[in-house]
Amino acid sequence: MEDIVLLGCGGHARSVTDSIEQSGRFHIAGFVDKNMDSNFSYRNHKVIGNDDDLQKIYDSGIHYAFVGIAYLGKGDIRDRLYRKLKEIGYILPIIMDCSAVVAMDAQIEEGVFIGKNAVVNSNAFIGTMAIINTAAIVEHDCQIGRFCHIAVSAVICGGSNIGRNTLIGANSTIIQSVNIGKNCIIGAGSIVRKNIEDNMLFKDGEKMQNLNKR
């Protein structure tokens, strides 16, 4: 069983931890967190360093890593950490909960997390470092861009495309064959029936320019 280090130790990291432990695929060597709280412990896993220690941890023989930090409103946090890990040489596996259902012909890229009871259906594509969270559904022929977060119980209907760095909020529904641009935020509970351009916040049925472009 290979050792793996998790970046971050918040709520999302706990979900990732549970999925890893239930799969039995990796042994969690510990957490890396910028605050370096030596008193933190979760399921007997402790913080073993901060971002500056990643090279040292890699040199010690731990070559697998996973980013346990969720979208946090900006996908570029996960993008930055991904690039740092790849520069060092880390391998970022796909972490898939045992309860998730993924079609045999779905394409899943590295660093993706697929949570409990999530569904990824036939011919779907999930880009690097995307999160398909608890009970989210990505239907057939969908394209989910790099660093996207499909939040809890969101539904992406067949043939829809979600651009890079976009958050689809909890309990949202993207109707079939709709295209959502990059760097968008779709508010929780939204129903999206028409295409949305890049850098847009969609909330309560209305589109408006996202002032926090990334």
Instruction: Compute the distance between CA of residue 60 and CA of residue 106 in angstroms, rounded to an integer.
Output: 35
Strand-pair partners of 207: 202
What order do you get walking across the sheet with 206-209 strand by strand? 95-96, 113-114, 131-132, 149-150, 167-168, 185-186, 200-203, 206-209
Provide the pairing of β-strand 2-7 with 64-67: parallel
Band (214; pLDDT cuts 50, 70, 90) = very low
- For residue 208, pLDDT over 80 is answered with no
| CA distance linking residue 72 with residue 17, whole number of Å | 19
Tell me the pairing of strands 45-49 and 41-42: antiparallel
The radius of gyration of the chain's CA atoms, rounded to the nearest angstrom, is 17
- Reported as a single tens digit per residue, the pLDDT across 99-129 is 999 999 999 999 999 999 999 999 999 999 9
Under 8 Å between Cβ of 214 and 198: no
Percent of the chain predicted with pLDDT > 90? 80
Q: What is the pLDDT of residues 149-174, one digit of tens each?
A: 999 999 999 999 999 999 999 999 99
Predicted pLDDT at 36: 66
Asked if 31 contacts 46 with a C-beta cutoff of 8 angstroms, the reply is yes
pLDDT of residue 9: 86
